[in-house]
Structure 1
Amino acid sequence: MSRPRVLLVGVNARSIQANPALYSLRRAAARQGMGDMLRIYEYALHTPHQQILAELYEAQPDIIAFSLYVWNARMIISLIGDLRRVMPRLKIIAGGPEATARGSHYLRHLPADAICIGEGEESFCAWLCALAERGLSAAGDQPLPVTPGFLVAGAEESYCPAPLPDMAALSFPYDEETAAYLRGQAKLVYYEASRGCPHHCSFCASARQKLRERPLELVFPELARLAEIGGQIKFIDRTFNADPGRAIVITREILRLHRQGLSWHFEVSPFDLPEELLALWCDAPKGYFHLEIGVQTLTPAALRAVGRRGEWSAAEPQVRRLINSRGSHVHLDLIAGLPGDTRRGFEQSFHRLHQLNADYLQFGFLKVLPGSPLAGQAAELGLIFSGEPPYQVLATPDMSPADLFALHRAERAFNALYNKTRDFRDSLLDLAEQSGNALRIYDRAADLMQWRGLNRGEAAALVQRLANENSGRE
């Protein structure tokens, strides 16, 4: 009997993204002689439901393996429901961070036939080998194999975890054909030189994962291959500068690869910025590096509550220097709704970061992710949050639902006026400086917007009205 036909399906947040996990799985399978069993189908959240359903149906696979994240879980749950109706013999597998964190839940409620728990390059291939050795079509009635790392319906008691793969043994995700596709489609290209994180921020799903690094003798030639693909290369390492010395070495190599049309994105801690690394990023060709700096909060009680270390007073001059150099594009992250934070505390954090005038300030909301330490502490901390993805906080002991809903409205106004364009940046910085509380500017803008979108002319008129009100002319 022929080997089963398996589709690896990803639903990305945006159409310019590509899911690196799918390409890693296919490359790992190819090394085992099973690459011909797998085909990759990628979509975006805006792709019509019926289009995805029709294309998956037309492919007539035996197995569909979905990559589940908090941002796509609802859409994939809906797709699986309809696939079950039109392809009743289809086998459904789910993997990825969301499936890993709630494996038993999704096994019952998708429902899935199996869940791939954790990192799948080795465990998924071992499961495929077991499936192929049976010489059966997965659409048949025989049970699916039970192998380490796979939670299989009807055999839950037999589950055992798979060992973590050796970072040196993983394949580079992109073969020549895939590289040509990514280049031709101008996709964002994702890469990881490490997994896990040495920090223990309780809201992070990686808080319990030990840092594991890919050897530099493999990283360097892979950087050259990534540079050949071009566009923006996004490192998905949790903290690129967790080892500052290693970050310096990689940054120097990336600078050597500089050419037009190429840029590199890192997630960075503000508390591990030695002078040499700081100088490399400040003096880089304009826009070559995109640095996403995870500040999250400046409120001491909130920092303690989520286990974050570091003194902002020491980090702020370095972050300010990066922003003012304009050598690198700087993106700051701030989270509302953290335990221990208050409305006033958030206002103070927001104002200080706002006035740094970074290229982008992300004003986000706490997500109580399954599998994170915070999820286990939520009841004790008095956190109220949505029970379904993306598990966003709804209330805390220090922030009422009304407080958080008001912040959502302010965030919408802030993104429209501050992040979407730099046309009004100087005026907004001046208004915030005069008021001493930047958030009040966007609270008022939200009152005037009433959840509406704005074109450029309307945005300009709104900023002028805010200025007039602030000066007492209205």
Structure 2
Amino acid sequence: MKTVFVAVNARYSHSSLAIRYIEKYNIKFNPELMEFSINDSIGSIYSALVESGADVYCFSCYIWNIEIILKAAELIKKAMPNIVIIFGGPESGYNSDELLKKYNFIDTIIRGEGEIIIGKVLELIQQGKRPNRFYQGECVDLNSLKFPYTTLDIENLKNKILYFETSRGCPFRCAYCLSSADSNGIRYFPMEYVKKGFKFFFDKKVPLVKLIDRTFNCDSKRAVEIVNYIIENSTATKVHFEIEASILTDELISVLNSAPKDMFQIEVGVQTINHEALTAVNRNYDLEKIRYNIRRLTEPKNIHIHLDLIAGLPFEDYNSFIKSFNFVYSMSPDMLQLGFLKVLKGTQVSERFTSDIKYAEFPPYEVISTKWISASELLKLKKVENAVDMFYNSGKFFNSIRSISEKPPYDNNPYSLFEQLGEKTKRSEKAGKLANTAFYEILYEIFGDCIIEELAVDFIKNNKTARLPKFLHREMSKSFKTHCIELINNPNFVESYKISGNLKDLRFEHILNKVFVMDYSNNLFFDITEWF
């Protein structure tokens, strides 16, 4: 009997932790792993699955992939009527009755943790018995789980993000999160297992490991021990995890502040500062303490900080969201993630606010409007989200955006800056897809010469070969290129700036009566006007 565990990831750069845990726990069935992304065509997924020639196909279902999986599963069942199709994962588990009734090509659905129960189901199939249509998963003893990665996995997942966990469950009961429906509580993997796992990643020089722990610092002493281990042993691996900022301890902040630059990415779900909204979704915390703790984390500038907001929460209107945005922006995160409420089946939000929130009945079940915020206002926030991603999160306009947001009226209401950029970008896109330089030109059209030097710096830093935007005029003399070549052959010049001596790594620009050089190999930028 051949069994295939199938994952369809949200991006090509992602990988699936779930199917690897289940594979290692059920290694006696010698299962095969097959991974795709939602950007793959149905035809290519279908043909790969059929060509694998398996007897059993087990799909890992989430809101981002359920529609693709349903189509692929239907096709392979029609092509191979005798196969068994099993669905697992949160998007099938909390919707099992509806899925089984609507789609007769699904043979079995498993809800909850799958490591143990999938083995029992495969055992039945191997014996020639027909499994039930539904099974409730069993809470696995984390001491019994094998490490989900092998050296072969690392080779196969080169250039992809690897996921890991040090705990399961969450101590909080956020009304919009499926963890609020989990009755198993918080469980921890053995510390020896966690450290061995990280050592494996470090030895393999894995670039990025993302922890899927719901709240990494729910046990602060344990978190301190893990962070210390990472600091002491990682040489090339960056670790990303999510924390609850209101419960950060002085000890954990101190340890994180001592970490080498860029070793950690930390995500904090602020979500909103509206107290009524926070109460409605079971997230009561001290906002000033959050602000204080995040500022302490950002002070050394050694950690990449992501702060999250959710639009469409109960009791939050448009003006309230603006206040939440400005609160988060004031903490200068490296990334500001503006998300939209997903009304997931099985959550308290889906049960308590049925008449107050309108949302899509299909995945990802995103909010359309609420009693407090209109559909048109949420569409306006979509434009703001795009503007934040392009002009802030990309980092390509760092100097320009910082300069603008420090000036009136944006210094008191930075939200209005991204609202303006969102509208302008949307209008510009009507003429077709925007070229890279168009976003610099959008900023120049709105703000003009007051930020022209900042725009020049941002452009040169982020564009090695692209032509200058129309508003920047190169001052080129016959001797300029010759002088640039002379400089990189001048040991005093190269040593003064510690830049590459290879012209292919450099960009020299004579603009705005200044001369700039960018070394892309070392990410170094200088004003070198004094050398001309």
Residue in structure 1 matched with residue 422 of structure 2 by the alignment: 446
Q: How does 1:9-88 map to 2 (within 5 A)?
A: 9-30=6-27, 33-34=28-29, 36=30, 38-88=31-81
SS of match in other structure, 2:109: strand
Letter of the structure 2 residue corresponding to residue 467 of structure 1:
F
- Counterpart pick for 2:175 among 176, 198, 202: 202
Deviates more, 1:82-91 or 1:196-205: 82-91
Deviates more, 1:228-237 or 1:339-348: 228-237
Cα distance in 1, alignment partners of residues 72 and 270 from structure 2: 36
Per the TM alignment, residue 431 of structure 1 is displaced from its structure 2 partner at its CA by 4.9
Residue in structure 2 matched with residue 149 of structure 1 by the alignment: none
Residue pair 2:310, 2:341 contacting (<8 A) in 1 also: yes
| Greater relative CO, 1 or 2 (CA 8 Å, sep 6+) | 1
Cα distance in 2, alignment partners of residues 435 and 464 from structure 1: 19
Alignment partner of 1:224 is 2:218: no
Residue pair 1:99, 1:117 contacting (<8 A) in 2 also: yes
Per the TM alignment, residue 83 of structure 1 is displaced from its structure 2 partner at its CA by 2.2
Residue in structure 2 matched with residue 286 of structure 1 by the alignment: 261
Cα distance in 2, alignment partners of residues 5 and 357 from structure 1: 52
Cα distance in 1, alignment partners of residues 440 and 279 from structure 2: 41
Cα distance in 1, alignment partners of residues 445 and 410 from structure 2: 15
Q: How does 1:163-182 map to 2 (within 5 A)?
A: 163-182=138-157
Per the TM alignment, residue 283 of structure 1 is displaced from its structure 2 partner at its CA by 2.2
Alignment partner of 1:456 is 2:436: yes
| Residues 421 and 447 of structure 1, relative CA distance in 2, 3 Å threshold | same
Point out the structure with max Rg over C-alpha.
2
SS of match in other structure, 2:180: coil
| Residues 402 and 178 of structure 1, relative CA distance in 2, 3 Å threshold | same
Cα distance in 2, alignment partners of residues 70 and 226 from structure 1: 29
Residue pair 1:428, 1:463 contacting (<8 A) in 2 also: no
Residue in structure 2 matched with residue 130 of structure 1 by the alignment: 124
Cα distance per residue 1:124-181 (max 9 Å; x no partner): 112112222x1x4xxxxxx6223xxxxx1xxx6xx5x343111111111113322333
- Counterpart pick for 1:339 among 305, 311, 314: 314
Residue pair 2:368, 2:375 contacting (<8 A) in 1 also: yes
RMSD of aligned alpha carbons: 2.0
- TM-score when scaled to structure 1? 0.89
Per the TM alignment, residue 200 of structure 1 is displaced from its structure 2 partner at its CA by 0.9
Cα distance in 1, alignment partners of residues 67 and 367 from structure 2: 17
Identity over aligned pairs, percent: 29
Per the TM alignment, residue 435 of structure 1 is displaced from its structure 2 partner at its CA by 5.4
Letter of the structure 1 residue corresponding to residue 85 of structure 2:
I
- Counterpart pick for 2:86 among 86, 93, 102: 93
Per the TM alignment, residue 245 of structure 1 is displaced from its structure 2 partner at its CA by 1.3
SS of match in other structure, 2:214: coil
Residue pair 2:248, 2:293 contacting (<8 A) in 1 also: yes
- For structure 1, which runs of at least 5 residues remain unmatched after alignment? 137-142, 147-151
Task: Number of aligned residue pairs: give it.
Answer: 441
Residue pair 2:96, 2:109 contacting (<8 A) in 1 also: yes
Residue pair 1:24, 1:121 contacting (<8 A) in 2 also: yes
| Residues 272 and 212 of structure 1, relative CA distance in 2, 3 Å threshold | same
Residue pair 2:9, 2:37 contacting (<8 A) in 1 also: yes
SS of match in other structure, 1:164: coil
Per the TM alignment, residue 470 of structure 1 is displaced from its structure 2 partner at its CA by 10
Residue in structure 1 matched with residue 165 of structure 2 by the alignment: 192
SS of match in other structure, 2:338: strand
Q: How does 1:196-275 map to 2 (within 5 A)?
A: 196-209=169-182, 210-229=185-204, 230-260=206-236, 262-275=237-250
Q: How does 1:401-420 map to 2 (within 5 A)?
A: 401-420=375-394
Residue pair 2:112, 2:138 contacting (<8 A) in 1 also: no
Per the TM alignment, residue 432 of structure 1 is displaced from its structure 2 partner at its CA by 7.2
Letter of the structure 2 residue corresponding to residue 248 of structure 1:
V
Per the TM alignment, residue 88 of structure 1 is displaced from its structure 2 partner at its CA by 2.7
Cα distance in 1, alignment partners of residues 246 and 420 from structure 2: 34
| Residues 113 and 314 of structure 1, relative CA distance in 2, 3 Å threshold | same
SS of match in other structure, 2:62: coil
Residue in structure 2 matched with residue 114 of structure 1 by the alignment: 108
Cα distance in 1, alignment partners of residues 412 and 145 from structure 2: 51
Cα distance in 2, alignment partners of residues 228 and 285 from structure 1: 18
Per the TM alignment, residue 402 of structure 1 is displaced from its structure 2 partner at its CA by 1.1
Letter of the structure 2 residue corresponding to residue 257 of structure 1:
N
| Residues 195 and 287 of structure 1, relative CA distance in 2, 3 Å threshold | same
SS of match in other structure, 2:179: coil
| Residues 14 and 431 of structure 1, relative CA distance in 2, 3 Å threshold | farther
Cα distance per residue 1:243-301 (max 9 Å; x no partner): 111111111111111203x1101011111211111122222111100101111111111
Cα distance in 2, alignment partners of residues 257 and 128 from structure 1: 40
Per the TM alignment, residue 418 of structure 1 is displaced from its structure 2 partner at its CA by 1.1
Per the TM alignment, residue 241 of structure 1 is displaced from its structure 2 partner at its CA by 0.6
Residue pair 1:80, 1:110 contacting (<8 A) in 2 also: no
Letter of the structure 2 residue corresponding to residue 181 of structure 1:
N
Per the TM alignment, residue 396 of structure 1 is displaced from its structure 2 partner at its CA by 0.9
Residue pair 2:387, 2:425 contacting (<8 A) in 1 also: yes
Residue in structure 1 matched with residue 131 of structure 2 by the alignment: 145
- Counterpart pick for 1:399 among 373, 380, 392: 373
| Residues 263 and 375 of structure 1, relative CA distance in 2, 3 Å threshold | same
Per the TM alignment, residue 468 of structure 1 is displaced from its structure 2 partner at its CA by 4.7
| Residues 332 and 433 of structure 1, relative CA distance in 2, 3 Å threshold | farther
Letter of the structure 1 residue corresponding to residue 163 of structure 2:
Y
Cα distance in 2, alignment partners of residues 169 and 310 from structure 1: 36
Letter of the structure 1 residue corresponding to residue 11 of structure 2:
R
SS of match in other structure, 1:206: helix
Cα distance in 1, alignment partners of residues 216 and 365 from structure 2: 26
Cα distance per residue 1:293-334 (max 9 Å; x no partner): 111111111111101021111120220222232211111111
Alignment partner of 1:366 is 2:360: no
Residue pair 1:355, 1:429 contacting (<8 A) in 2 also: no
| Residues 65 and 348 of structure 1, relative CA distance in 2, 3 Å threshold | same
Letter of the structure 2 residue corresponding to residue 427 of structure 1:
S
SS of match in other structure, 1:290: strand
- Counterpart pick for 2:363 among 386, 389, 397: 389
Per the TM alignment, residue 433 of structure 1 is displaced from its structure 2 partner at its CA by 5.9
Cα distance in 2, alignment partners of residues 9 and 371 from structure 1: 24
| Residues 348 and 88 of structure 1, relative CA distance in 2, 3 Å threshold | same
Cα distance in 2, alignment partners of residues 44 and 110 from structure 1: 23
| Residues 181 and 405 of structure 1, relative CA distance in 2, 3 Å threshold | same
Cα distance per residue 1:417-455 (max 9 Å; x no partner): 111234233134325763522222222222222263543
Residue pair 2:336, 2:388 contacting (<8 A) in 1 also: no
Cα distance in 2, alignment partners of residues 292 and 47 from structure 1: 29
Cα distance in 2, alignment partners of residues 239 and 77 from structure 1: 32
| Residues 428 and 29 of structure 1, relative CA distance in 2, 3 Å threshold | farther
Cα distance in 1, alignment partners of residues 396 and 2 from structure 2: 49
Residue pair 1:431, 1:470 contacting (<8 A) in 2 also: no
